[in-house]
Chain A
Amino acid sequence: MTLRIDRVRVWLALLLGAMPFVTAGPALLAEEKSDSTETDAWRQDRERMVQRQIVRRGVEDERVLKAMRAAPRHHFVPEPRRRFAYDDRPLPIGYGQTISQPFIVAYMTEAIEPRSDFRVLEIGAGSGYQAAVLAEIVSEVYTIEIVRPLAEWAKERLAAADYGNVVVKHGDGYHGWSDHAPFDAIVVTAAAPHIPPPLIDQLRDGGRMIIPVGSPHLTQQLVMVEKDGEDVRTRNLMPVRFVPLTRTDE
């Protein structure tokens, strides 16, 4: 019996002794990547993300893959969740908003078939990441965010990452940005119950808009809108689900 108690004590001591290493280990490792600046570790994570989450799911456009490899996603994720930046999921960024799952960003970018001379409007800047991916490919990106602190965050992050071809505005994206219209493509990254007419209006003939439409708090369909003069056609691409977040972290 004594022997058993002693063994228990030894195990307990070992466990308690090992505790600092067990808890500090991941923290030390994380610290290496916690800085938002580019490092090899982040680059490797990004490459892995592109291979495992994006190429494997069928995104083939080389320009999009290159942009996904280049845009530093971790730079657009707020600090407490930065280490999950390249995980296969959306992440909360505060104010009830999310940074979309990497695959969705790539998929939406590929769907508009971007070219280097494109002028693109993005509705719902959020963290600024989608704008950064677009800015890797096209010449001009205009992005609108309804939540002022997020608009400021996106502006600051995009500037810090040297995305000089992105213009951020705080406002209601429903009205689009008529000063810079028409746009070759419009990417809407916030769920809407319907397709806003001003956005169709500001789309160039032959232009494409991708928009998640449906119940904003439950499920949506990713819809491709194609404009050909007066004729406007739609194509449902895939179901998507945006999980609403409480605004406690505001």
Chain B
Amino acid sequence: MNDMPARGWGSAVFLASVALIAGQIVLMQALAQAQGHHFAYLVISLALLGFGCSGTVLALGREWLLRASEWLLPALLLGTSVGMALGLGWAQRAAAEIDFHLLFVEWRPWIRVPGVVAGAFAPFFLGALALGLVFTREVERIGRFYGANLAGSAAGAAIGLGVLFLVPPERAIPLLAMFPAVAAWLGRPRGTRVRHRTFPRTGYGWAIGASACLLLAIGVFLRVPEAPMSPYKAMQYSLQLPDSDVVLDRPHPMGRLQVVTSPALRYGPGLSLHYRDDIPAVPHLYRDGDSYGAVVPPPRQGSHILEASVMALPLALRDPERALLLHGGGGAGAGLLLHREIPEVTAVEPHPIAARLLRGMHAPAGVDWTVETRDARAFLNRPSRHYDLVVLPVQGAFGGGLGLRSIQEDYLLTVESFERILGALREDGILTVSVYIDQPPRAGLKALGLLVNSLRAAGIERPAEHVAAARSWDMLTLVASPQPFEASDRSRLADFTGEHGFDRAWIPGFGPAPDDRRHVMQDDRLAVGVEAILSGDRQAFEQEYPFRLQTPRDNQPYFHQFVRLDRLDEVRRIFGAGSLAFVEIGSVVVVATVILLGVAAAVLICLPLLRLGWARGGRGPVFAYFSAIGLGFMFLEIVWIQRFTLFWGNPLYAAAGVIVALLCGMGIGSALSGRMPARPRFLRGILGAIVVVLLALLWVQPAFFAVALAWPEPVKWATGLLMIGIPAVLLGFAFPGGLRAVGRGYPAQVPWAWGINGCFSVLGAPLAAVIAMGAGFHVVGVSAAAAYAVALLACGRLRGHN
């Protein structure tokens, strides 16, 4: 082995890391668009096992791989480039053809899954193998290369998001494939000591190889056809309607936004059956192929369709002067408020393209119409004024959905969020949320429980007097006010429901209307549940109920999660055997991912032991240390994304900010680690400091955020980035420090350690989701500190006796 041209390899590591992280982000979006986030989650997790697998391969073929490393590194990077240009695009296409829902019913759709995973796995495996090769060979200079890896990853996170502003994911993938091609050129063998005959001896050969990969990537970029989409996507249904047309198509990291029109595409949620006019055909918005609302502007003449919807209940009770619409989506709700000529209407919409469409909605003369492009929670942190009416987005799906959103955090539907909304209301203002009725009823009852808890948290002792509810055949509309409703409100409620043929689900201060039975459900527990939550023994009802009605809080923001593990038998009885996957597919997927990854990680970690031997030589400490820092890092990243989402207010930018700050800080730490003493005591000190800092931050951060929430955005971002970046410098010592220690004590185990770290980093993400769903994010944070404590205990034994 000759001395490595560290400069070229450092740049190669940097560029390869850019491609791998940006590739993950773009592939996630591509798969979400093709099939859905739940599927993307599963495939990406399996594909990232490429990192663990690379460690296994390195451990098994260490000597040969190290001997061949000079030509193997650029060859692997060229493979990564080809794999990205062809494999990732193919994975997206193949994913769209899988009938994901049938995976839980039949075995046939599974045939296609390995193909999708293989297409996604190949580039990550080859890229990770290249990185692992560098780390294994350069273990003494690991700090420098690991620093380049982290810096590249941070840049990759930014580039991955940035490219999605410009092009859809299927076109972004080949662009990213250029990075490893350039990395291969930079990492090419230098000098004349390359002995392998089948690979070029000179720079020309590598230049040709890299150029061919660049040309391939350019070719794919220019020729890539429109990405297909699963037939289960709502947009696919709309496209099958006669004369349908996509009139707007914009890529964005927050989701590709498309607008579809068709003369048969109509919109009438919660519509009265007394309504006899035509339901207008309106454009529908789709984000990554999923419904994002309908565009229903105020009509030039006649009434707005939602006037005849149960959603109009708050307007029957109050004549608001200032209304706020949270997460306005397509603007159907805004259309109704504008049609009513409410003097001041503000819509808050986080997706910039949807916000732009909303802004273009015509407002009648005399109406002050404002659209804020922000996340609702960020807006609610500093509301500039008080409102008469706050409208939340419609929740759920009629009859019940498939539970696609059960693992998705929703910070708008938590007690803390509702408390802020109630705080933004005028004395007699109204908060309203409409929920599609599911069978058995779940979402409506949870929303009501959330309202009641929030009213109680706001100091209201008798919430039953502050809540009114009406329902159509398909939708329940809830309204709540800081002031108790009066007799005049009760009579307006009766007039409204009578006129439209709705049922009164709750008359404030009275109860459900027993004579209102226009819309009978198969399962009548909605009425029972409403009564129990507002005036009966709520605790007993919720305990008995087969679904989880626990009120979501910021620590466990899972409004859409309903399945209770202790009542699975009952759920099976209600929906039929084998149907759990159709009730809450998101939770099933995350648990299945943990199991799959756990099994795969066990195999990948045990396999090298065939060669290294099962006992002796510090296997235990190496395993404990690298699995702990892999899990700890992932847990920490997820907890911080959750916390900074609430602080900064935008989930996408918060995730990007946390990842970039974390990786930059760790990169600095890693680079510094090379200059630090290689004594175990030093590493122990660093790990001890990490545990203390993490635990301290867990308790200090909420108090700090409570104070800093009202600060100007740039200050909030700067302090937040520092709050992540500074402790991240300490975290940056853990991996290179440990690897260096292993390199001195048990050099043959260096690649094994890399593989263990890779496996547990990948396993950490779904495991954190499972812990957060069951016990909350705070417990995930404590687990992160505990993982670093385990690493602290193991680190002293990494060097053995050599």
Chain A residues in the interface with B (C-beta under 8 A): 96, 146, 172, 174, 193-198, 200-201, 213-221, 223, 225, 230-239, 241, 243-247
From known contacts A221-B439, A236-B522, A237-B522, infer whether A214 and B279 are also in contact, taking CB-CB under 8 Å: no
Chain A residues near B234: list those with CB within 8 A. 215, 217
A234 to B520, CA, bound (A): 6
Please name the residue on chain B nearest to A192 by beta carbon. B266
Q: Nearest 10 pairs between A and B by C-beta? A: A232-B273, A234-B473, A221-B399, A214-B399, A236-B522, A194-B268, A214-B398, A217-B237, A235-B520, A244-B231
Chain B residues near A247: list those with CB within 8 A. 240
Q: A195–B399 contact, CB under 8 A?
A: no
Q: B236–A239 contact, CB under 8 A?
A: no
Distance (whole angstroms) from the CB of B528 to the closest CB of chain A:
16
Chain B residues near A245: list those with CB within 8 A. 231
Q: B236–A217 contact, CB under 8 A?
A: yes
Interface string of B231-263 (1 = CB under 8 A from A): 111101100101000000000000000000001
Does B276 count as interface, using CB distance less than 8 angstroms? Answer: yes
Q: B518–A219 contact, CB under 8 A?
A: no
Chain A residues near B423: list those with CB within 8 A. none
Chain A residues near B519: list those with CB within 8 A. 233-235
Q: A221–B276 contact, CB under 8 A?
A: no
Q: B518–A194 contact, CB under 8 A?
A: no
Q: A215–B518 contact, CB under 8 A?
A: no
- Other-chain contact of B521, A195, A200, A219, A236 (Cβ < 8 Å): A236
Chain A residues near B520: list those with CB within 8 A. 233-236
Interface residue tally for chain B (C-beta within 8 Å): 41
Q: A194–B269 contact, CB under 8 A?
A: yes
Q: B237–A244 contact, CB under 8 A?
A: yes
- Other-chain contact of B276, A201, A217, A220 (Cβ < 8 Å): A201
Within 325-379 of B, Cβ neighbours of A (below 8 Å) are at none
Q: B474–A194 contact, CB under 8 A?
A: yes
* Apart from A96-B240, A232-B518, 20 more pairs, CB < 8 Å: A174-B264, A193-B268, A193-B398, A196-B279, A197-B278, A198-B278, A213-B399, A214-B399, A215-B399, A215-B401, A217-B236, A219-B397, A219-B399, A219-B401, A232-B273, A233-B517, A234-B273, A235-B519, A239-B399, A246-B231
Please name the residue on chain A nearest to B105 by beta carbon. A243
Q: B271–A194 contact, CB under 8 A?
A: yes
Please name the residue on chain B nearest to A246 by beta carbon. B231
From known contacts A233-B518, A233-B520, A247-B240, infer whether A218 and B402 are also in contact, taking CB-CB under 8 Å: yes
Chain A to chain B contacts (Cβ below 8 Å), 14 pairs = A193-B268, A194-B271, A195-B271, A197-B271, A217-B233, A217-B234, A217-B237, A218-B401, A221-B398, A221-B399, A233-B520, A234-B518, A236-B439, A236-B522
Chain B residues in the interface with A (C-beta under 8 A): 101-102, 231-234, 236-237, 240, 242, 263-264, 266-269, 271, 273-279, 397-402, 439, 473-474, 501, 517-522, 582
A238 to B102, CA, bound (A): 21
A220 to B397, CA, bound (A): 9
Please name the residue on chain B nearest to A201 by beta carbon. B276
Chain A residues near B397: list those with CB within 8 A. 214-215, 218-219
Q: A219–B237 contact, CB under 8 A?
A: no
Interface of A is mostly: mixed
Chain B residues near A223: list those with CB within 8 A. 473
Q: B264–A172 contact, CB under 8 A?
A: yes
A245 to B400, CA, bound (A): 21
Chain B residues near A201: list those with CB within 8 A. 276
Distance (whole angstroms) from the CB of A174 to the closest CB of chain B:
7
A241 to B398, CA, bound (A): 12
Chain B residues near A217: list those with CB within 8 A. 231-234, 236-237
Q: A244–B236 contact, CB under 8 A?
A: yes
Q: A194–B266 contact, CB under 8 A?
A: yes
Please name the residue on chain A nearest to B520 by beta carbon. A235
Which of B236, B273, B399 has the largest count of A CB atoms less than 10 A from its CB? B399
Q: A213–B474 contact, CB under 8 A?
A: yes
Distance (whole angstroms) from the CB of A250 to the closest CB of chain B:
10
A233 to B233, CA, bound (A): 31
From known contacts A146-B242, A244-B232, infer whether A200 and B276 are also in contact, taking CB-CB under 8 Å: yes
A195 to B522, CA, bound (A): 18
A197 to B272, CA, bound (A): 9
- Other-chain contact of B274, A215, A225, A230, A234 (Cβ < 8 Å): A230
Please name the residue on chain A nearest to B397 by beta carbon. A215
From known contacts A217-B231, A218-B401, infer whether A239 and B439 are also in contact, taking CB-CB under 8 Å: yes
From known contacts A238-B522, A245-B231, infer whether A197 and B276 are also in contact, taking CB-CB under 8 Å: yes
A225 to B240, CA, bound (A): 27
Please name the residue on chain B nearest to A245 by beta carbon. B231
From known contacts A221-B439, A236-B522, infer whether A197 and B277 are also in contact, taking CB-CB under 8 Å: yes
Please name the residue on chain B nearest to A220 by beta carbon. B399
Distance (whole angstroms) from the CB of A207 to the closest CB of chain B:
13
A239 to B438, CA, bound (A): 10
Chain A residues near B278: list those with CB within 8 A. 197-198
Chain B residues near A219: list those with CB within 8 A. 397, 399-402, 582
Distance (whole angstroms) from the CB of A248 to the closest CB of chain B:
10
Chain A residues near B263: list those with CB within 8 A. 172
A100 to B559, CA, bound (A): 35
Please name the residue on chain A nearest to B518 by beta carbon. A233
Chain B residues near A174: list those with CB within 8 A. 264, 266
Chain A residues near B501: list those with CB within 8 A. 231-232
Chain A residues near B231: list those with CB within 8 A. 96, 217, 244-246
Chain B residues near A200: list those with CB within 8 A. 273, 276
A241 to B102, CA, bound (A): 12
Chain B residues near A216: list those with CB within 8 A. 237
